[in-house]
Amino acid sequence: MARWGAAMTMAMGVLLGAGPALAEARDVGAKAYDSVDPFIGTGGEGHTFPGATVPFGMVQLSPDTRIQPRAQGYDWAAGYRYDDSSIVGFSHTHFSGAGHSDLGDVLLMPVTGPEKLERGDPDTPGSGYTSRFRHDDEIARPGYYAVTLDDYRVRAELTASARVGVHRYTFPADEDARVLLDLRTSMYDYPGKILWSRLRQMPDGTVTGFRETRGWAPGRQLYFAMRFSRPPTGHAFHNTETDIAYKGFAPPADRVPGERAQIEGRQLVGTFDFGKLDAPLVVKVAISSVDEAGAIANLDAEVPDFDFDRVHAAAKAKWIDALSVLDVEAPDAERRSAYTALYHTLLGPTLFMDADGRYRGPDQAVHTAEAFDHYSTFSLWDTYRALHPLLTIVQPEKRNADFVNSLLAHRRHSPYGILPVWSFHGQETWTMIGYHAVPVIADAYLKGIRGFDAEEALDAMVASASYGPYDGLRQYMELGWVPIDEEGEAASKTLEYAYGDWTIARMAQAMHRDEVARDFDARAANWRNAFDAQTGFMRAKNRDGSFRTPFDPTASGYGTDYTEGNAWQYSWYVPHDVAGLVAAHGGADALLGKLDAAFEAEVDPAIFEHMEDITGLIGWYAHGNEPSHHVAYLYAYAGQPWRTQARLKQIMDTQYADRPDGLAGNDDLGQMSAWYLFTALGFYPVAPGSGEYVIGRPFLPRASLRLPNGKRFTIVADGLEQGHGYIGAATLDGKPLERAFLRHEEILAGGELRFTMQAEPSRAWPGTQAQAPYSMTATSAR
Amino acid sequence: MARWGAAMTMAMGVLLGAGPALAEARDVGAKAYDSVDPFIGTGGEGHTFPGATVPFGMVQLSPDTRIQPRAQGYDWAAGYRYDDSSIVGFSHTHFSGAGHSDLGDVLLMPVTGPEKLERGDPDTPGSGYTSRFRHDDEIARPGYYAVTLDDYRVRAELTASARVGVHRYTFPADEDARVLLDLRTSMYDYPGKILWSRLRQMPDGTVTGFRETRGWAPGRQLYFAMRFSRPPTGHAFHNTETDIAYKGFAPPADRVPGERAQIEGRQLVGTFDFGKLDAPLVVKVAISSVDEAGAIANLDAEVPDFDFDRVHAAAKAKWIDALSVLDVEAPDAERRSAYTALYHTLLGPTLFMDADGRYRGPDQAVHTAEAFDHYSTFSLWDTYRALHPLLTIVQPEKRNADFVNSLLAHRRHSPYGILPVWSFHGQETWTMIGYHAVPVIADAYLKGIRGFDAEEALDAMVASASYGPYDGLRQYMELGWVPIDEEGEAASKTLEYAYGDWTIARMAQAMHRDEVARDFDARAANWRNAFDAQTGFMRAKNRDGSFRTPFDPTASGYGTDYTEGNAWQYSWYVPHDVAGLVAAHGGADALLGKLDAAFEAEVDPAIFEHMEDITGLIGWYAHGNEPSHHVAYLYAYAGQPWRTQARLKQIMDTQYADRPDGLAGNDDLGQMSAWYLFTALGFYPVAPGSGEYVIGRPFLPRASLRLPNGKRFTIVADGLEQGHGYIGAATLDGKPLERAFLRHEEILAGGELRFTMQAEPSRAWPGTQAQAPYSMTATSAR
């Protein structure tokens, strides 16, 4: 086992050791495990997948139900949709809740009968190798998935270790068994998406291969190695592309066993024959970003045998350990929602290195992670908000430090010299806006997480906030705003840069890098350059300082002032200076009025038809997309926490459910679920980097967190079970808590946060003399 | 300097040391250098290039005159055609004389005036960045090329080290200088040929990049690093492809200096601005098959400065050394032809490893050459015949051993477990037929060349001759012939396999691997399965043992029994058993009659219009393609050496000239030139592996070879200058030589081979009692 495996084994060792506390944790974890429903989010807009993976695992082995043309690809971004009734196959990489389609590497399908090389039309059974299935036959548990493929009478079970997907196929005894490997498919079809690919049979029967794709990430390379529990009686490699200048040599598809063979091209399919089988066939597939030798080494390191049950048991144990950090007492439905949310927050970032530490960086060169575990899949525009802050509470310090180390490694190898924007499999996708690796690092550092080079980190943050060619940054540095006549969606960019700048200033201040702190504190005030006092909205300015006209506060997305949003959604984005925002509006009442106007507007969802990400509408509030995520909490900042409490109930009731369609928007690599979990616990990090969490209201009668330092922080909500939805009083370790926020160090200290819930809103808590959070005190300078 | 450079420096040290012998060698080399005309072969069918390279260098930096659609790509296989009057740019990799188009990596063009990103139509000057030029302004010398680009008034000079191309551009002082880098071009245009590519500017101003092409070799990767002698004032990267799903981020093309940037895609162009220059701009470009870091290291190792003249002087010195092995006394035209032929034989195989020994193998993985220099570009179907045998005489033992080591390394990393068929840049192209790495290795071993693992070599040869899926080998092993009803061009394959088998048997015999020798001696007789006694032609059999009908001895190529030939051309292919062939024909007279019929047939060249490689016709004899290359020498085997002598004069007079169109066919990586050189010296290796050379007749009054062991072998042709074309008598070291062949060890022993030439054919030499060569004695068994 390699270093990562070793670390996991150590963690398991601690958990599985003797002692009543550990036994209790194991018990909590086992019950938690039973409460997770991986189908939640696989319908509707959630874009989650039901397949098998381990926490932060590199492999996500999951069924794909359709491969659509790109225009329809959005809905199948995770490969599986609960409404579908057929399965194309099982592929090894998936995003959990992304808004773009990609991955779906190395699709396997166990089949019988006449050879079919094409998927066929899922609406015409038998037209291809796709098979029907029924949900009745499906099981999805953390680290395990099973289904029966009706067209072939094959029972397929999936499990995974960190870098290896393991399949167990039980074929009908009276049919010749065959496994099809399709290297052409991905989450959507697009001509030219597969740049190059290769299939190879090694002399020892190992099948290796590679594919290079131009999808969401340009030029991504994925290598794999596959072994079968019994040798095929023959195999055939096919290239289904026809218009080829030099096709090269491919051994005839005559199914001669044992001979070496290779095929290269852009449209490859392999089939492996096994004859009639009297026992299940186990197939294991390792992936690597480095090379085929790396994939083979990963296979050997993690799954040296063909013991499916052992791999499954190990995956289950990892999940029990990871889920045991949270002990929830609540009705079943809430337990399911809470633990499934926790499950979803542990699916990314994903491990991205071979057993020997090697990985392919954004420069496409191979690097070795020295003394840290390298992760990728950073959906930073989403996850800096609540996912990464949550992981600082529910995951070990080392893992959080290694997320930072991974971001820094990306920057070291970046051809642009900057931190990732939205990266997966080591590659930059340039998706969304801002430089939100910056708040992730600042939040970690300011919470006391160490284990990375803080000086390098601050340098990387400054470099990322100073790279002129990126998204109007040169103009932002020159003018103080991104000019809309030179760069699109300029209002959103100005606002998000200003917040990122504030987090740089905070970290620099803590590190006594005073000049950096001063410079970026000045930049943090740039949000003011987006505020139009006349309309009360954030807007984009031209280079000459005038706001762009005409102005339509309902217009969203491409061509407008905003990124995946409109003026009603983006005008709240000053997480670091809510006091300034209040003042700009002329006082709390004006802001509160505008918040109500936003939540209570009558909005025809058709207005967002062109913006597939904007879902989960409550008035203009769009819970399905991240710009809204902190908005309900602003009531509390503006002095009316009971309004936050009411809005949170409204959101929790309408935007989440323990059903497949129970996520109102893309889970976005755990951000939607992290929002749920924070909100259910009773607090939320509106301004990561502040070290503060605004108190909303609890939704769980009792929840206890096992913290990374081994302490416990327990939240109790007395009266919640009677349906009381408002906080009447709160105590921290028995002492009255007369403020509407918590500090991170208070959580880390362990103890009990107890709420007295009541039926009616209370204006008495936290009281008019309540201490204000940072964001209400440190008004950014003009 | 890396190991390869070090070896070269040592060689130079020996040559440049003191001592009259060495001074003489230097003098010989310098005069030889002056006699080389790199334009020979750039017109007509030669497919050679005029640009700058060092012996066996990895970089071949040469002008490209047109980029044609694939259908017209054949004629521009080396990028340059002497008939053209415009230059597209200077690219860094070229084949010398190949029959397929590929390479042309990293094309640079120095330009002025308005930015043009497209090449334009060469027939419409000014329509793109292509420029006109005139041959008057051109200079081509070994290791140096210069031309004036008339459209830009730029003087462009090129030189090279092993892995680095160096450009010196003198711009007009009154124009803004710009260098364009086109990553889209190759020797021909084909949609999808560029699979992926990348351009990157490093913080220190180094430009790196990569391209992956699917041309002749599937999925070939080529990395490069480029530096300018003065920093650009700005640069811009362009992607000219439009239909892209996710285009990714590219810094705006606003020519801001110094900022990092990268662009990825399939159609990339970069431009680099320098403003007005008061001195020449030097640009150096290193290539690597491994990665961009490898290219940078190659650049640093070989050309650490911008001293164009130093690199040029070093290249010249390498050529003087390499050419000094041959001391020719002959009229200027023959000197030019002979030294240009020698020059052409020293252009391939080409070095293929980085300064640190790393290279990309046929498995696309990176390997390191341990204790040998790794070469690629093995046009083996051509070069096993005369090029490799020649190199055993004119190149050091280590270089020949390293060719074998490179073949063995290829096999170790081959996904098929076999030696290369036709490989370049580490990749297998599957071009032509047979397993002709086998005779190259056998010939080297049997000539006493050591420095490779002979046991491994023999195993590799056996494996290559036993890989069932390849080109009907399974059937050949089963039946003794390749059945034409199952595999195309089966007669050629059966014949070439049988010869290869014979060389395996000889090497196995020498190594006392008796079982292998017995098995392959039996296989060597399989040529008989192709001989149709009724027609006297070699033909293809069906599986049932019958010859395929109808039979047309003039039909050639695809769909016929033959590879790039017809029955008239292929029926002579039993180089290892000419005695058997004579017997099969019923005696020498029948064979001689058939030879005459072949040479004297009236053939309309239009019959070969569909076979672009079959050129240089004398009757059916096609000197432009390799199956004919040994045929004129068969008269000597059949007892009429004077007929060989006459035919050779006929061929030399009509198929070679010291003009751009002076090669009658593709030089095929030196094979045509090696034929010329052997024939001019007076002997030829009809059956490599026999250690014998059949004596033809000398065409040079005096030629002296400096052998790898330091000895000299001198050939003198008395009476040649009087126009006498027939051998009257011969002596070896003063003793009468009464046989029409030489043994390799006789050459290695040094000495003098002296011919007495006469005007009329002589039947007295070598006499009817002459000793017969191997091929006339060791009739292969039925």
pLDDT at position A168 over 50: yes
Across the interface, whether the CB atoms of A218 and B265 are under 8 A apart is answered yes
Does ipTM exceed 0.85? yes
Q: Is residue A123 part of a domain?
A: yes
Across the interface, whether the CB atoms of A256 and B469 are under 8 A apart is answered yes
* Mean per-residue pLDDT, A584-610: 94
Across the interface, whether the CB atoms of B429 and A246 are under 8 A apart is answered yes
User: Across the interface, which of A195, A252, A469 has its CB nearest the CB of B261?
Assistant: A469
pTM: 0.94
| Number of domains chain B contains | 1
User: Across the interface, which of A195, A256, A430 has its CB nearest the CB of B249?
Assistant: A430
- Beta-carbon count within 10 A of B71 CB: 8
Least CA distance to A470: which residue of chain B? B251
What does DSSP say about strands A741-743 and A735-736: parallel, antiparallel, or unpaired?
unpaired
Across the interface, whether the CB atoms of B430 and A203 are under 8 A apart is answered no
Q: Is residue A657 part of a domain?
A: no
Q: Is residue B630 part of a domain?
A: no
User: Across the interface, which of B256, B415, B468 has its CB nearest the CB of A262?
Assistant: B415
* Mean per-residue pLDDT, A612-628: 92
Chain B residues in contact with A429 by the CB 8 A cut-off are 246, 248
User: Across the interface, which of A190, A251, A266 has its CB nearest the CB of B245?
Assistant: A190
Instruction: Render the burial of A411-443: b for 16+ CB within 10 Å, e for the rest.
Output: bebbbbbbbbbbbbbbbbbbbbbbbbbbbbbbb
Chain A: closest CA distance from residue B713 (Å):
44
Across the interface, whether the CB atoms of B200 and A363 are under 8 A apart is answered yes
* Mean of per-residue pLDDT scores for chain A: 93
Across the interface, whether the CB atoms of A470 and B214 are under 8 A apart is answered no
Across the interface, whether the CB atoms of B212 and A190 are under 8 A apart is answered no
| Amino acid A242: pLDDT | 82
Let me know if B139 is exposed, middle or buried by CB neighbors in 10 A (0-12, 13-18, 19+): exposed
State pLDDT tens for residues B517-533.
Answer: 999 999 999 999 999 99
Crossing angle (nearest 10°) for helices A387-394 and A671-681: 60
With CA atoms as reference, report the closest residue to A15 among A339, A316, A428, A218.
A316
Please tell me what DSSP assigns to residue B112. Answer: -
Task: Return the residue matching tokens 């809905």.
Answer: A75
pLDDT at position A600 over 70: yes
Please give the residue range of the domain that contains residue A47: 3-322
CA-to-CA distance for B457 and A416, rounded, in angstroms? 47
CA-to-CA distance for B119 and B182, rounded, in angstroms? 9
* Mean of per-residue pLDDT scores for chain B: 93
User: Across the interface, which of A259, A292, A429 has its CB nearest the CB of B469?
Assistant: A259
Q: Place B261 in a pLDDT band, splitting at 50, 70 and 90.
A: confident
Q: Place A252 in a pLDDT band, splitting at 50, 70 and 90.
A: low
State pLDDT tens for residues B475-511.
Answer: 999 999 999 999 999 999 999 999 999 999 999 999 9
State the number of CA atoms in the 13 A half-sphere of A44 facing the CB: 21
CA-to-CA distance for B64 and B77, rounded, in angstroms? 10
| Amino acid A191: pLDDT | 76
Least CA distance to B262: which residue of chain A? A415
| Amino acid B732: pLDDT | 98
* Mean per-residue pLDDT, A247-270: 78
Least CA distance to B470: which residue of chain A? A251
Chain A: closest CA distance from residue B217 (Å):
8
Q: Place A402 in a pLDDT band, splitting at 50, 70 and 90.
A: very high
| Amino acid A256: pLDDT | 65
User: Across the interface, which of A249, A292, A470 has its CB nearest the CB of B430?
Assistant: A249
Give percent of chain B with pLDDT exceeding 90. Answer: 87
* Mean per-residue pLDDT, B626-642: 95
Across the interface, whether the CB atoms of B215 and A245 are under 8 A apart is answered yes
Please tell me what DSSP assigns to residue B777. Answer: T
User: Across the interface, which of A193, A214, A469 has its CB nearest the CB of B259?
Assistant: A469
Q: Is residue A586 part of a domain?
A: no
Q: Place A1 in a pLDDT band, splitting at 50, 70 and 90.
A: very low
Across the interface, whether the CB atoms of B260 and A415 are under 8 A apart is answered yes
Q: Place A781 in a pLDDT band, splitting at 50, 70 and 90.
A: very low
Side chain identity at residue A689, one-letter code: G
| Amino acid B254: pLDDT | 62
| Amino acid B557: pLDDT | 84
Please calculate the CA angle B483-B487-B490 and round it to the nearest 5 degrees.
Answer: 60
Across the interface, whether the CB atoms of B259 and A293 are under 8 A apart is answered no
Least CA distance to B202: which residue of chain A? A415
| Amino acid A255: pLDDT | 62
pLDDT at position A17 over 80: no
Residue B359, token pair as written in the block = 């290279």
Size of interface A-B (CB pairs under 8 A): 119
pLDDT at position A466 over 90: yes
Please tell me what DSSP assigns to residue B169. Answer: E
Across the interface, whether the CB atoms of B196 and A214 are under 8 A apart is answered yes
State pLDDT tens for residues B308-334.
Answer: 999 999 999 999 999 999 999 999 999
* Mean per-residue pLDDT, B28-54: 97
Residue A369, token pair as written in the block = 């992670």
DSSP sequence for B482-508: --TTTSSSHHHHHHHHHHHHHHHHHHH
User: Across the interface, which of A245, A259, A264 has its CB nearest the CB of B468?
Assistant: A259
pLDDT at position B772 over 70: yes
Across the interface, whether the CB atoms of B428 and A190 are under 8 A apart is answered no
Residue of A72, A196, A200, A241 to mutate, testing the B interface (most B Cβ within 10 Å of its Cβ): A196
DSSP β-bridge partners for residue B693: B742
Across the interface, whether the CB atoms of A468 and B256 are under 8 A apart is answered yes
Across the interface, whether the CB atoms of B256 and A469 are under 8 A apart is answered yes
Please calculate the CA angle B21-B26-B29 and round it to the nearest 5 degrees.
Answer: 125
Chain A: closest CA distance from residue B90 (Å):
25
Q: Is residue A603 part of a domain?
A: no
A377-391, A752-766, B499-513, B601-615: which range is least confident on average? B601-615
| Amino acid A253: pLDDT | 63
Task: Return the residue matching tokens 């007789």.
Answer: B525
Q: Place B693 in a pLDDT band, splitting at 50, 70 and 90.
A: very high
Chain B: closest CA distance from residue A429 (Å):
6
Q: Is residue A171 part of a domain?
A: yes
Give percent of chain A with pLDDT exceeding 70. Answer: 96
Q: Is residue B291 part of a domain?
A: yes
Across the interface, whether the CB atoms of B291 and A200 are under 8 A apart is answered no
Q: Place B8 in a pLDDT band, splitting at 50, 70 and 90.
A: very low
User: Across the interface, which of A219, A262, A365 has its CB nearest the CB of B196?
Assistant: A219
Give percent of chain A with pLDDT exceeding 90. Answer: 86
Chain B: closest CA distance from residue A469 (Å):
5
State pLDDT tens for residues B421-435.
Answer: 999 999 999 999 999
pLDDT at position B764 over 50: yes
Let me know if B421 is exposed, middle or buried by CB neighbors in 10 A (0-12, 13-18, 19+): buried
Quick one: CA torsion of B473, B478, B482, B483, rounded to 10 degrees? -130
State pLDDT tens for residues B74-127.
Answer: 999 999 999 999 999 999 999 999 999 999 999 999 999 999 999 999 999 999
pLDDT at position A283 over 70: yes
Instruction: Render the burial of B245-261: b for 16+ CB within 10 Å, e for the rest.
Output: bbebbbbebeebeebbb
Least CA distance to A199: which residue of chain B? B415
Least CA distance to A466: which residue of chain B? B259
CATH code of A176's domain: 2.70.98.10
| Amino acid B5: pLDDT | 38
Residue of A188, A210, A363 to mutate, testing the B interface (most B Cβ within 10 Å of its Cβ): A363
Phi-psi region of A309 (alpha: psi -120 to 50; beta: other; left: phi over 0): alpha
* Mean per-residue pLDDT, B659-663: 95
pLDDT at position A10 over 50: no
| Amino acid A529: pLDDT | 98
